[in-house]
């Protein structure tokens, strides 16, 4: 993940890995911080897709594609 957020701050991050990677795996590559939340606008439906750390029941961001941009929120420092 490029441009990981700082704790308690928002960032525009870009996934630089393989297509079809789960959000939890991709966001875990942020070494200095956990990512508490991530959002992405689906270009087909124009609906927000979301990921919340540890909350799969309310997350609907299925997987990430190479060079996909996300709005991310930094959680706790590691």
pLDDT digits over 12-66, tens only? 999 999 999 999 999 999 999 999 999 999 999 999 999 999 999 999 999 999 9
Pairing of strands 69-77, 33-41: antiparallel
Report the 3 state secondary structure along 34-67. Answer: EEEEEEEECCCCCCEEEEECCCCCCCCCCCECCC
pLDDT confidence of residue 78: 82
Instruction: State which H helix or E strand residue 26 sits in.
Output: helix 23-27
The residue extents of the domains of the chain are: 10-77
Tokens of 30: 């942020």
Which pTM value belongs to this model?
0.93
């Amino acid at each position: 993940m490029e441009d990981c957020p700082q704790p308690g701050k928002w960032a525009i991050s870009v996934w630089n890995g393989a297509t079809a990677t789960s959000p939890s795996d991709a966001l875990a590559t942020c070494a200095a911080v956990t990512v508490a939340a991530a959002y992405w606008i689906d270009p087909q439906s124009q609906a927000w897709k979301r990921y919340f750390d540890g909350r799969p029941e309310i997350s609907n961001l299925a997987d990430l594609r190479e060079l996909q941009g996300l709005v991310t929120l930094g959680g706790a420092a590691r």
